[in-house]
Structure 1
């Protein structure tokens, strides 16, 4: 298995990310034909205007019983499976040929699914939160050149933004 802790860099928002995300969602959805699953573009590249690592993240929500089938089919698109990669309940896959991409396979409608969609939607609807997150990402990338340390350095900001997003959802 490849090393999860890969080099990272954060770059200015690129409008092509939206198209790449839509394309990958379509490819994954077509590949999973016959498997009940939802597929969405998530992560920073799904938030217009947000600086990010130039890696497209897609989330697949499916039944637990279908996870092995989903993982095996995604291998057909060149994704390598890295197991849960430190996140219980998620199967993490990545592809670094062509345009880099990650796929997160989670339980459909489960907490991970809901949190990832909520985080993306909150950042999209709250430019101040997106700017705060961008600053945290740049600070973290300036202090750490690899994924695990970078993720740890921005974890507090992510948790605070998630708390805000949950409070906002609860008040509507």
Structure 2
């Protein structure tokens, strides 16, 4: 398994602009009103430190048809990276391995992956105290797992799950 260094950067106000430009490129090759494209991840949350990788979520009606997206995305520099452990989404990377500039996730629109990723993003955008708590955890994990991005990501999961569970319990 490939391991790459975790380096967090202070929030860059250019990240949403970079996303918008990439959105246009993706939209050109995936022209279909049934698909939705969203900026997710830490670069989508104002004032949150992040790895300088723009995470993009593409929602499609049926995940089984994601293969229709492989060639068009390849034409604009995306590489499909099979991750058999991810059952509800497909992963694409753009940029050098270990130092990519974009991570693109395809999932079923309105499925669990879609709903939870957008809910987590939207929650942190409106709850700056929780966003700062998340940033503190990310900084601690980046320090203790700086040579292992996979472990860094894995260790963030309990925090993310707890926020999502809290959001759902508040709606009940």
**Do they fold alike, i.e. is TM over 0.5?**
yes
Other-structure match for 1:155: 157
Change (3 A) 1:90 1:136: same
**Unaligned stretches of 5+ in structure 1?**
none
Measure the CA separation in 2 of the matches of 1:114 and 1:17: 22
Task: Give 4+ residue runs of structure 1 displaced > 3 Å after superposition.
Answer: none
Q: Alpha-carbon deviations, 1:112-134, whole Å to 9, x = none? A: 00011001000001001100110
Contact 1:4 1:82 in 2 (8 A): no
Partner Cα separation in structure 1 for residue 81 and residue 3 of structure 2 = 11
Structure 2 runs not aligned, ≥5 long: none
CA distance in 2, matches of 1:85, 1:8: 23
Contact 2:54 2:101 in 1 (8 A): yes
Question: What is the TM-score when the length of structure 1 is the normalising length?
Answer: 0.89
- Corresponding pairs, count: 168
Contact kept? 2:93, 2:100, Cα under 8 Å: no
Q: Which residue of 1 aligns with 2:89?
A: 90
**1:107 alignment counterpart:** 108
TM-score by length of 2: 0.89
Report the Cα offset of residue 153 of structure 1.
2.0
Aligned with residue 50 of structure 1, among 48, 65, 80: 48
In 1, the alpha carbon distance for the partners of 2:153 and 2:94 equals 19
Report what 1:67 is aligned to: 66
Please point out which of 16, 19, 35 is paired with 2:17: 19
